[in-house]
Amino acid sequence: MEFTQLGRSGLKVSRLCLGTMNYGTETEEKDSFNQMDKALDLGINFFDTANVYGWKMGEGITENIIGRWLAKGDGRREKIVLATKAYGQMGEGENERRLSAYHIKQACEASLKRMQTDHIDLYQMHHIDRLTPWEEIWQAMEQLVREGKVLYVGSSNFAAWNIAQAQGEAKARYFMGLVSEQSLYNLSSRTVELEVIPACREFGLGLIPWSPLSGGMLGGALKKFTKGRRASDYQKEKIEESKTQLEAYEDFCNELGESPGDVALAWLLNNPIVTAPIIGPRTMKQLEGSLHALEIILDEDSLKKLDEIWPGPGGQAPEAYAW
């Protein structure tokens, strides 16, 4: 396993991040435990979750599963960098969502209890809160850091100007601020190249891409679909919309002698701003196979071909659309 620093922080994390969103819904608890054990065996030390995962309001199903796994002991907690998120609605009350100081404290305490730990290594804001001022957000986060309940703070689904605003306010308070941004980023979704990635580079944030395989579409979906693999109506629609690109992509991966999913991950890992794509394997075989992406080296010709198949926005703003 390869490791890198999380943004400008001194924290070292694995180049692949284990995503736990399916734990408790698509993946049963026993299989979730086995996956986390295997991830550790493979050298993956970066685990990502969120208080809303499990998708039953207020229950924190996935965090509870992680907590029961950590409670098994054997140094599990000390071996991982544990990341979770707050923002989503966790109850019927008006203050049981978003990023008020009230909810940040409440959400953090609840996540700590569910995960049976005394601290969160990376506490991420799951979305920008346009109603809460930054002085309130940072005051709440600073308090959690002082208490030792949170070590680092990250963002998720932020626009570039949100990152700039957050860091400006943090600097004025002599606070470290954000160390990472978790964004939708893959070969077929490259909007963040316009401004988010330049902002991460400027402010020293590590980029953690979610949905690196575009919901499975970049994992050989066309070939699997034509062989009779079941797909949801949404997936079928996405595959039909991108059929020409998928044909070219899967043919090119075949020329490389690599699986489409591995090439998609390798393409992300080629970007120096990317810390670790979030993988969400359904099976143990998929988890083990993901590590091969770390071995793939894409040369300039291969990167150019991928750009032709999956064109980005044309670079960063404003040059992508102006001069």
User: In the chain, what are the domain boundaries?
Assistant: 3-309
> 211: helix, coil or strand?
coil
- Predicted confidence at residue 227, as pLDDT, reads 65
Per DSSP, what are the bridge partners of residue 156? 182
Token pair for 192: 């963040």
Please tell me which residue in 23, 53, 152, 185 is annotated as part of the active site: 53
Q: In the annotation, is 53 catalytic?
A: yes
CB neighbour class for 142 (10 Å; exposed up to 12, middle 13-18, buried from 19): middle
**Residue ranges of the chain with pLDDT lower than 70?**
226-232
Tens-digit pLDDT profile for residues 95-143: 999 999 999 999 999 999 999 999 999 999 999 999 999 999 999 999 9
pTM: 0.95
Residue-wise DSSP of 80-101: -EEEEEE-S--SSSTTSSTT-H
Domain range 3-309, CATH class: alpha beta
- Closest listed residue to residue 302, CA positions, set 253, 269, 245, 262: 253
- Predicted confidence at residue 231, as pLDDT, reads 64
Average model confidence (pLDDT) for the chain? 96
Distance CA 43, CA 290 (A): 12
How distant, in Å, are the alpha carbons of 58, 77, 100, 105 from that of 178? 26, 23, 17, 18
